[in-house]
Structures are given as structure tokens and as C-alpha cells.
Amino acid sequence: MAAKPLAPKAPLWLLLIASEGIDLLFFLFSFIGLEKQAVSRSSIERGIEVITPGILYWSQGLFMAIIWSIAAFLLTYFFLKEQRAALIVGLVFFSHWILDFIVHTPDLPLFFVGSPNVGLGLWGSGPGLIISGILEILLLSGGLFVYLYWRKSRPTN
């Protein structure tokens, strides 16, 4: 939503989809069985579901996130024929990885199998979880504010 004023020609729905693109790919890939988040057996027995690093490199890996972001740029450019909109859509797509990097415990692969998993792990602690919750609310309300302010101040056509 905050990116919309930067690229007025990019539809809002496209920017919203792009911002969640990596997770949408994850749902798609896990649905077709390409990816899975591994849940350890011992944790199931203890009645808690701990999600440990699985095979996430197709959607959540840094390398593929860059590839998908470039693909988002190219696709947007192909359909909208506007470089600015395409660039912003590509950057919004990639921004998901940056935010995931801040909050995820190290389960984001850099490349493919055997590559280091990264993540600063804000989610990993109690206070961190609260901070990330506050951060999400701030980002959401900030984005909404920027978008609504931009719409209001825009000359009507």
C-alpha cells in the first residue's frame, strides 16, 4: 500500500499479491508437494508442533526469491509496459524476503540443499514476538495511512 504512490500505474491488488508472493508460492509448492515444512516427530509426541527447517528453498530461499522478484518485474513489464510499475512490483515482491529475514528463526536457505539457513529470529523469543507483532501493526497501519493519504491528495480525474 505504501508503494502505490511510487508506482500509480501498478494496480493495488498486484502490489498486495506481490507483497505476499513468496508465501503464495510456498502454499502452491507445498500443495503440489515440492516443499514442506518439517515437523519433528518428537515434538508431535510431546504435543507441541515445532516447525523446523524443511525444504523451503523454492519459495523462501534468497536465491529463488531474487529470481521470483525478477520474474515479477518482467511479467509486470510485459503486461503494463511501464518500467517504474514493474520495478516497484519487483521490489515489493523481494521486500517480503527482507521482512521474513528479520523475523524468521534461521530457516531461510540462501541457495538450495545444504546451503546455510538464515534469519535474525525476532520471532524466536517472547519479547521479540511482541516486538514483531507491534512492527506488523505499525507497518500495516503505516502502509494504509500512506495509501489513503495519497488517494485523498491525488487530483481527481
Interface residue list for Zn ion (CB under 5 A): 23, 100
**Burial state string for 127-143 with b = 16 or more CB within 10 A and e = fewer than 16:** ebeeebeeeeeeeeeeb
Nearer to Zn ion, 80 or 131 (CB): 131
Q: What is the closest distance, in whole angstroms, from the C-beta atom of residue 35 to Zn ion in the complex?
A: 12
Nearer to Zn ion, 23 or 136 (CB): 23
Nearer to Zn ion, 35 or 100 (CB): 100
Cα–Cα distance measured from residue 141 to residue 75, given in angstroms and rounded to the nearest whole number: 29
Q: How far is the CA of 119 from the CAs of 87, 96, 97, 123, 146, in angstroms?
A: 25, 13, 10, 10, 28
Q: What is the closest distance, in whole angstroms, from the C-beta atom of residue 81 to Zn ion in the complex?
A: 30
Q: What is the closest distance, in whole angstroms, from the C-beta atom of residue 51 to Zn ion in the complex?
A: 13
Q: What is the closest distance, in whole angstroms, from the C-beta atom of residue 100 to Zn ion in the complex?
A: 4
Nearer to Zn ion, 56 or 85 (CB): 56
